Amino acid sequence: MKLSSISALALSTALLAAGAAQAETLSVVCSNEQSWCDLMAQNFKIDTGIDVAMVRKSTGEVLAQIRAEAGNPKVDVWWGGTGDPHLIAANEGLSTPSGVDTSGLLGWAQNMADMSEGRAIGVHVGLLGMMYNTEVLAEKGLPAPACWRDLAKPEYKGEVTVSNPQSSGTAYTQLATLVQLFGEDEAFALLADIGANVNQHTKSGSAPGKMAARGETTIAVGFMHDMVNLKKQGFPVEIVSPCEGTGYEVGAVSVINGTPHMEAAKAWVEYVISPEAQSRGLEVGVFNIPSHPESATDPDAPDMTSVKLIDYDFATYGASETRERLLERWGADVKAKGGNFEE
Amino acid sequence: MQRTAKLWLLVGLAAYALLPWYMIPGGIWSPDWLATWTTDARPALFWALGGRPWLLAPLVGLLGAGAALVLLRGLAQARALVASGALGLVLMAAQGLAILGNRARFDALEGLTQPGMGAGALLVAAGLLFILTTGISGLGRGRGDAFITGLVGAIVALVGIFVFYPMSFILIRAFELRGGAGLGLSEFLPRFLSPEIWSIACLLGTGYCGAAMNSLLLGLATATGTTVMGLAFALIFTRTAFPAKRFLRVLTILPIITPPFVIGLVLILLFGRSGTITEFFADAFGWEKTRWLYGFWGVWLAQMLSFTPIAFLVLIGVVEGVNPSVEEASQTLDANRWQTFRFVSLPLMRPGLANAFLLGFIESLADFGNPLVLGGNFNVLSTEIYFAIVGTVADPAKAAILSLTLLSMTLGAFLAQRLWLGKKNYATVTGKGDSGQHAGLNPALRWGCYALALPWAVFTLVLYALIMFGSFVKLWGYDHTLTLEHYKRAFGIIVRNGVHLTGAAWDSFLTTLTIAAIAAPLTAAVGLATAYLLVRQKFAGKDAFEFSTMLSFAIPGTVIGVAYVMAFNFPPIELTGTGLILIIVFIFRNMPVGVRGGIAAMSQLDRSLDEASITLGANSATTLRRVILPLMGPAILAALTYSFVRAITSVSAVIFLVSARYNMATSFIVGRVENGEFGIAIAYAAVLIVTMLLAILALQLLIGRRKLRRADRLQTS
């Protein structure tokens, strides 16, 4: 047969369609650390008997994917990651209320559910903070920073790394926090001053912390639970809770609108907000604050009572208009004015 | 012609009447669908008679072809076959695009839905397509050879469905007006030409360059560097008596089999502000520790390490293929060895040089992992596109515009390459007996090659030694206690009541290997078939055809990923969440390397070989199989190796396509790197590197060397 090679190609393609067999499994996309994702999926399988397929993606990737898949989702549940994208998904109708009872949770977790009409439920809180590499700081003979304003001091020129709010949710939380602390105009003036010291605006929110840990930069801004993890790994770092007060993110869980596995999805949501499931995070170095008051926490982990917190306004600063306006102003006032300092 | 057309008509009719038309749970190869043959797994014929009359559309084409075969003869029959095949395909596509999974596209068809097409539809479409192409061959096109027209038709159809169809979804976004006001150029042009993309301020020393300028400069620097380095390695291999060639060969392929991020991480540990080498120079000479690595030079260094092997793989076949007789002739005519190299060998290597340069340039433009890790504030198009899609404010229009910019650069490089190669003939492997020896390099050139390539090889070796070291220590850079813990966590096995794979990495590891093993031969087949058509056959629209096969390579992976999700998440073709979509994306993303390598190797084979074979009574399929393919060993090897490896190491395209069930190794590694768990990420990478190395060695043994002449000799004295 003359077309044997082509038909072989066509047939093998069809053969592969066989591999596409879909079984009844709950499909979960997870935006937490990989090990925490794996552990939760494994425990859920053991405790409920429901089969789970799990993949880890960053929040931006998940949002782009569920937008593209809207109407015919291939994912049932989205667990973890910062709350803002969860709220955007809820606003765009990409997620659906799960109807799970949230009354036993801490206030901020319930608040998240109220804001999204039950579509996103809070699972953890991460506090924003600063970190410095003790070895590099000593080598350069610099004082340790204690406040947001310290970051603008001229002696830190080229020593500070923050992420870019246009690509990173962490940096947007920092931007919104400073605006809520100091008022918009003063916050942007401060950010521009800090910008003059910044050696790199990283794309990823967790990158500055990792760079400071390895001594690639001196001072980093990021979430404190990531920093605790780095410190416990053995890096020479110290964590600072800014003296003026700091903001936080609320991680969430959402059920994707149009899921064919609503019952299993609901079981997942109930499971991840239970104290038994949340307490196990300590086994794999999860140091954020769980949303159930009875969940166990680590003594080294930041807790909300010992840190000066602002009353973070998620409704205002999570809204798309505020977000776009602030980011545009950041581009004009901070990024365009120097900053991006290369040694 | 008649036999082929009848055969495909039978295939089409059988599929239409017997095989399930739509996708079925469980897939076509599990016998489950036999039980639901009268319900969900009905063939098109039953669906059409029972409430979905639009499925009669493909039958129109099949019946038309049947009538033509029975009633008509000669040219009239061929014309009728072309018409009915085309009509059937158009009608079939129209019904699929009009009635989607959850809604109909037009109000008139309100309320109609259908699932995605399945095995029946696939075979009916194949039947119609080959009836069409057989008809075209009957008209005398493609030298009247049904195999040639069929091959062209199949590749055009595949590229159309898996490159152009998904890309149309995203590129149309570039012309979208704000606020859903339709499409137009009024916003596209200012955004496309904005200084944010094209600024050349960094060249003038007044600020930062636009992302496109950065990409362009980086691409040119990387392509030049990798081509020169690749040539140096290729010359050492073929034209010198260097003792440790085999060892060098392994070293040159190491970077290509390294998962993304790993090279960047090692470079940071060596040259970063607190890197080992930086610390050494700071202590020894009091040099200031700087962050030079984060920017143009760091990315360039990482890309040189990553892409030199690609240039080498393309060039080695070409350098080897230059006929020693012409070199001998040159020396007989009293040219010295330098003149022979400069005026005879080097010009004959032009196709290889041009292809290596083109691949290096495009690879550099599309590279995502290295700029992400080392870019610092140096923005290139590929990362900008990624963050336009996943950033805090998603801007698909910006991503589409940047993608168009990237595409136009590729088009430019492609045209420039065509211009440079011109219409010259580079065939040097002919059927005529040659018994010459390759001219050795003159000493200056030889030492030049050594000076360039050997330090590079040592540098590569050091990097890989460090990677291995990093996977065995507790906390790389800080706590160098030796440990097997990372391997245990990733690849733990418990033998108790049977063997249990408890390591976290097993799942993605096995999926990755399976998918890569399936995708590699398919990629090589599609790529080399395309190369064969481009080099050996003449048909209308060949240039456009050639460019269209290169497109998927130039489009950044992120854009392809999102485009695939948009296009293949809904009927008529529903593939998201399957392993198949990963295989397809690899085939069409990596096919261009098979094409380029195939073209380079095939343009050296003299046409007289084909002609001799055809004169002796073989048809073009037999000629391809018995004459061309055996001479294509290195090109096949390169295509297979490359596509296998790329399926394992590519990251940006698969980020959106991996699903919970089909997760890939790179996506796992990225997750760990994000979390700062370098140990387990590097241990996983080390296992992948070793696995790929073994696979490549096995492939090399399997395919072996081609025998171009009685012996490859080298003039040593």
Read off the pLDDT of residues B190-239 as tens digits, 9 standing for 90 and up: 777 777 777 777 777 666 778 888 999 999 999 999 999 999 988 888 88
- Between chain A and chain B, the number of residue pairs with CB atoms below 8 A apart is 226
Q: From CA A285, how far away is CA A99, in angstroms rounded? A: 30
Hey, which residues 284-313 in chain B have their CB within 8 Å of chain A? 290-292, 294-295
- Phi, psi for residue B292 in degrees, rounded to 5: -60, -25
Q: Could you report the per-residue pLDDT of B585-617, keeping only the tens digit for each?
A: 999 888 887 787 788 777 777 778 888 888 888
In a shared domain, residues A72 and A109: yes
B474 touches chain A (CB under 8 A): yes
Of A13, A204, A343, the CB nearest to B290: A343
Q: From CA B684, how far away is CA B690, in angstroms rounded? A: 10
B691: which 2 tokens? 């696995």
- Inter-chain touch B578–A17, beta carbons under 8 Å: yes
Of A27, A72, A320, the CB nearest to B660: A27
Nearest chain B residue to A210 by CA distance is: B676
pLDDT of residue B431: 60
Crossing angle of helices B542-554 and B146-159, rounded to 10°:
40
Of A25, A61, A72, the CB nearest to B102: A72
B622 touches chain A (CB under 8 A): no
Query: Is there a contact between B696 and B253 (Cβ–Cβ < 8 Å)?
Result: yes
Structural domain count of chain A: 2
In a shared domain, residues A118 and A237: no
In a shared domain, residues A192 and A116: no
Domain containing A160 equals 127-247+320-335
Cβ neighbours of residue B563 closer than 8 Å, sequence gap 6 or more: B166, B167, B169, B170, B555
Cα separations (Å) of A232 from A300, B141, B209?
Answer: 9, 71, 40
Q: Could you report the per-residue pLDDT of B253-264, keeping only the tens digit for each?
A: 777 778 877 888
Higher pLDDT, B419 or B196: B419
The complex's ipTM? 0.78
pLDDT of residue B495: 77
Please list every residue in chain B whose beta carbon sits closer than 8 Å to the beta carbon of residue A27: 577, 659-661
pLDDT of residue B714: 61
Mean pLDDT of chain B: 81
Domain annotation covers residue A15: no
Long-range contacts of B355-358 (CB under 8 A, 24+ apart): B355/B314, B355/B417, B355/B596, B355/B597, B355/B599, B355/B600, B356/B226, B356/B227, B356/B230, B356/B231, B356/B310, B356/B311, B356/B314, B356/B315, B357/B223, B357/B224, B357/B227, B357/B311, B357/B417, B358/B223, B358/B413, B358/B414, B358/B417, B358/B596
Query: Is there a contact between B37 and B167 (Cβ–Cβ < 8 Å)?
Result: no
CATH, residue A133: 3.40.190.10
The helix or strand, by DSSP H or E, that contains position B1, with its residue range, turns out to be none
Sign of CA dihedral B203, B204, B209, B212: negative
pLDDT of residue B434: 58
Q: Among residues of chain B, what percentage have pLDDT more than 90?
A: 9
In a shared domain, residues A193 and A330: yes
For B637, other C-beta atoms within 10 Å of its C-beta total: 23
Measure B558 CA to nearest chain A CA, in Å. 10
Please list every residue in chain A whose beta carbon sits closer than 8 Å to the beta carbon of residue B147: 2-3
Which of B296, B392, B515 is best to mutate for the A interface (most A CBs within 10 A)?
B392
pLDDT of residue B1: 65
- Inter-chain touch B392–A166, beta carbons under 8 Å: yes
Measure B621 CA to nearest chain A CA, in Å. 7
Cβ neighbours of residue B464 closer than 8 Å, sequence gap 6 or more: B254, B689
Measure A104 CA to nearest chain B CA, in Å. 30
B481 touches chain A (CB under 8 A): no
pLDDT tens, residue order, chain A (343 aa): 344 444 444 444 444 443 333 446 899 999 888 788 888 998 898 889 888 888 888 888 888 888 878 877 888 999 988 888 898 899 889 999 988 888 889 888 888 898 889 999 999 999 999 999 999 999 889 999 999 999 999 999 889 999 888 878 888 999 999 999 999 999 999 999 998 888 888 877 888 998 899 888 999 999 998 899 888 888 899 999 999 999 998 999 999 998 888 999 999 999 999 999 999 988 888 888 899 988 888 888 877 788 888 888 888 888 888 888 998 898 888 876 544 444 3
In a shared domain, residues A191 and A269: no
Query: Is there a contact between A285 and A50 (Cβ–Cβ < 8 Å)?
Result: no
In a shared domain, residues A329 and A294: no
Domain annotation covers residue A17: no
In a shared domain, residues A194 and A327: yes
A201: which 2 tokens? 């605006």
Q: From CA B439, how far away is CA B330, in angstroms rounded? A: 10
**What SS3 class is residue B653?**
coil
DSSP string for residues in B409-420: HHHHHHHHHHHH
Of B372, B522, B621, the CB nearest to A12: B522
- Inter-chain touch B26–A21, beta carbons under 8 Å: yes
For A219, counting Cβ atoms within 10 Å of its Cβ (0-12 exposed, 13-18 middle, 19+ buried), the class is buried
B208 touches chain A (CB under 8 A): yes
Cβ neighbours of residue B123 closer than 8 Å, sequence gap 6 or more: A10, A14, B11, B12, B14, B15, B19
Query: Among B99-103, B121-125, B303-307, B310-314, which is the least confidently predicted range?
Result: B99-103
**Which letter does DSSP use for residue A265 in this model?**
H
Please list every residue in chain B whose beta carbon sits closer than 8 Å to the beta carbon of residue A22: 25, 577-578
Crossing angle of helices B665-674 and A34-48, rounded to 10°:
110
B14 touches chain A (CB under 8 A): no
Of A29, A34, A323, the CB nearest to B672: A34
- Inter-chain touch B621–A13, beta carbons under 8 Å: no
Domain annotation covers residue A314: no
Measure A149 CA to nearest chain B CA, in Å. 24
pLDDT of residue B538: 78
pLDDT of residue B711: 54
A42: which 2 tokens? 């494994």
Which of A3, A75, A157 is best to mutate for the B interface (most B CBs within 10 A)?
A3
Domain annotation covers residue A311: no
Crossing angle of helices B381-390 and B396-421, rounded to 10°:
160
Please list every residue in chain A whose beta carbon sits closer than 8 Å to the beta carbon of residue B579: 16, 19-20
Please list every residue in chain B whose beta carbon sits closer than 8 Å to the beta carbon of residue A136: 274
Q: From CA B627, how far away is CA B638, in angstroms rounded? A: 19
pLDDT of residue A123: 93
pLDDT of residue A199: 86
In a shared domain, residues A205 and A280: no
In a shared domain, residues A225 and A255: no
Average pLDDT over residues B432-458: 78
In a shared domain, residues A82 and A229: no
Domain annotation covers residue A192: yes
Average pLDDT over residues B385-409: 81
pLDDT of residue B179: 64
Measure A14 CA to nearest chain B CA, in Å. 6
In a shared domain, residues A121 and A152: no
Please list every residue in chain A whose beta carbon sits closer than 8 Å to the beta carbon of residue B150: 2-3, 6
Long-range contacts of A273-278 (CB under 8 A, 24+ apart): A273/A100, A273/A102, A273/A105, A273/A109, A273/A121, A273/A123, A276/A47, A277/A40, A277/A43, A277/A44, A277/A47, A278/A123, A278/A124
B270: which 2 tokens? 């060596």
- Inter-chain touch B291–A216, beta carbons under 8 Å: yes
B202 touches chain A (CB under 8 A): no
In a shared domain, residues A107 and A140: no
Please list every residue in chain B whose beta carbon sits closer than 8 Å to the beta carbon of residue A82: none
Q: Could you report the per-residue pLDDT of B492-532, keeping only the tens digit for each?
A: 887 777 777 777 788 889 999 999 999 998 988 888 888 88
Hey, which residues 237-276 in chain B have their CB within 8 Å of chain A? 268-269, 272-274
Please list every residue in chain B whose beta carbon sits closer than 8 Å to the beta carbon of residue A342: 291, 295, 376-377
Measure A306 CA to nearest chain B CA, in Å. 26
Nearest chain A residue to B124 by CA distance is: A10
* pLDDT class of B26 with cuts at 50, 70, 90: low
